[in-house]
Structure 1
């Protein structure tokens, strides 16, 4: 019993030290740096691919999806590519996506977040003939596999990939695995400026999720 109590105290102290390091040091910001991939100034791509970043069961887009949607629409409006595709076929959260990757689980009644983004893009004036929606893919690998098939169908050579800064590394690795000619086009990188304790906690979750995702993708041969 004494040994158990001692182990519990040690575990508590270690947990407290880790939590303090995460909240009050630049550790999360440093861990985010290798995940952020930037490319050349965006221009001359055949396609803009906006990767879904999550939504709620009522169809409201999450903050990541909203950022990516706006960035993708701006690239289209600025003439950086002639076509745009939105990917993401479900709304079930991060653990649902983990279950899909590990166990191949599929949601019974998926709510396609890509359809929500595509509908908003049409309201911003993107013509239907320049816009495509992928309603079936459930993770980053499936997102970009659809993009590859779409590019082959349309005879497009280069894709501009729009996603969050910390997700760009995993997306780039998948694109390379699939043999895509791509331009990284992440939304603006705010990771160096997330310095409050709460921001660093949230950033730690994002960063750990991405490192876990990359490890799983290596295990399954996606990268």
Structure 2
């Protein structure tokens, strides 16, 4: 009985949740639209949205960025002077001002603390200001500092870079702090899908680092999970993330940042 209830609860989401319901109503609406051209235009728009909210398309896009950077165990990481962690996991425009709220890229910060606590780095250098246009009252590095100290990292072992607005500035401003502190050997931590651009930026600034990709977004294609076949705003977000990253890589190459 419980299995039947679980199965029905999953199937009924097609008729309750906004995103799959949108597709069902859209397909029905096509039947009532008159004229070949309006039907075609509506079908193309629905198809376009459906493609990028499809698991297999989203997974392929994000895997194209993650595949060159497989996970690394902390045990395999060589001892270094500092672990550099790129921002992107702390919400700076939360409805609760000043309270650190972590998003789904929090693995970056968690893994940086784990690396530090395993004795693989003497310091943590967090780089990240505010990447939100016209909203820089709260800096990500300041909020991350609260989280790290609450997790038991001594304040004297934390360096923060709070002025950068993008990955290029992360690398540029961090390289200046490293030079001032006399730090040469580092571990670079950021999301796997973002590692190609981040690594190239830091190499451009002549920062020596050991790569530690984290926050993997791709899922197993071997799963037969029912949810994988249903259009999802989560998959659309992953597709958008991957497309944005590829555009960022191309733009940075054009600007000479890489």
Flag the structure with larger Rg.
Answer: 2
Q: Among 197, 219, 223, which residue is 2:231 paired with? A: 197
- Residue 99 of structure 1 corresponds to none
1:176-211 alpha-carbon deviations (Å, 9 max, x no partner): 222222222122424124946323112111111111
Unaligned stretches of 5+ residues in structure 2: 1-34, 222-227
1:83-105 alpha-carbon deviations (Å, 9 max, x no partner): 1111111262xxx3xxxxxxxxx
Per-residue deviation, 1:9? 4.8
169-178 or 81-90: which moved more? 169-178
Matched, 1:136 2:172: no
Distance 1:190 1:220 in 2: 28
51-60 or 160-169: which moved more? 51-60
- Residue 68 of structure 1 corresponds to 108
Unaligned stretches of 5+ residues in structure 1: 97-106
Distance 2:171 2:136 in 1: 22
Per-residue deviation, 1:8? 5.7
Distance 1:116 1:178 in 2: 26
1:129-185 alpha-carbon deviations (Å, 9 max, x no partner): 211111111111111112211221222222212122221221112122222222221
Give the TM-score of the pair, scaled to structure 2. 0.71
Q: Among 34, 42, 48, which residue is 1:12 paired with? A: 42
- After superposition, the Cα gap between the structure-2 partners of 1:158 and 1:127, relative to the gap in structure 1 and judged at 3 Å, is same
Equivalent positions of 1:118-137 (< 5 A) are: 118-137=145-164
Matched, 1:157 2:184: yes
194-203 or 151-160: which moved more? 194-203
Equivalent residue of 1:136, what SS?
coil
Count of aligned positions: 206
Equivalent residue of 2:119, what SS?
coil
Asked whether the equivalents of residues 64 and 164 of structure 1 are also in contact (C-alpha less than 8 Å), the reply is no
Distance 1:84 1:12 in 2: 51
- Residue 80 of structure 1 corresponds to 120
- Residue 46 of structure 1 corresponds to 81
- After superposition, the Cα gap between the structure-2 partners of 1:6 and 1:39, relative to the gap in structure 1 and judged at 3 Å, is same
Instruction: Let me know the Cα RMSD of the aligned residues.
Output: 2.4
Distance 1:46 1:39 in 2: 21
- Residue 54 of structure 2 corresponds to 24
- Residue 35 of structure 1 corresponds to 65
Equivalent residue of 1:14, what SS?
helix
49-58 or 206-215: which moved more? 49-58
